[in-house]
Amino acid sequence: MELPTKTFRVTRADLVRYAGASGDFNPIHWSDRIATTVGLPGVIAHGMFTMALVGRAVAEWAGAADAVVDYGVRFTRPVVVPDDDEGTEIEVTAAVREVTDIGLTRIDITATCRGEKVLSQARATIRTPG
């Protein structure tokens, strides 16, 4: 069973807010000059910010944040955020892999940006809604 797609817009302003909240002011998250100097295609979103957005989708599918029992990902590709008003989008889809007899649902998650997967081995276990 496929779960409803969730889409999250990410702008440079979001990266500034996340940097302030997390304390991660690495210039690859705000300076094109630094990002390209170290070999990146441009400014990239914080990996943990990307993971948090996907986690928000999981919590919405679960019906509540405290219904998320387990959640993990591996980062495979950076989310490049252009310096414009549009930013970029992360699209999150998921499929139910298993519903256990003890009330847990295991889901496999796919997160993409501009058609490319940005996470791998993205999985979650939630308490079965309803």
The residue assigned the tokens 């252009």 is: 82
Per residue in 48-71, pLDDT tens?
999 999 999 999 999 999 999 999
pTM > 0.75: yes
pLDDT of residue 128: 83
Angstrom distance (rounded) from CA 76 to CA 86? 23
Please answer whether residues 1 and 95 qualify as being in contact, where contact means their C-beta atoms are separated by less than 8 angstroms: yes
Domains of the chain, earliest start first: 2-127 (3.10.129.10)
If you average pLDDT over residues 32-37, what whole number do you get?
A: 98
Q: Which of 88, 123, 108 is nearest to 2 (CA)?
A: 108
- Which residues on neighbouring strands pair with residue 75, listed in sequence order? 119
Q: Does residue 68 come out as left (phi exceeding 0), alpha (psi in the -120 to 50 range) or beta?
A: beta
Q: Is the dihedral of CA 32, 77, 91, 15 positive or negative?
A: negative
- Residues 69-120 have pLDDT tens digits of 999 999 999 999 999 999 999 999 999 999 999 999 999 999 999 999 999 9
Does the pLDDT of residue 130 top 70, yes or no?
Answer: no
Give the pLDDT confidence score for residue 96 in this predicted structure: 97
Q: Do residues 7 and 41 touch, judged by C-beta distance below 8 A? A: no
What's the whole-number mean pLDDT along residues 33-51? 98
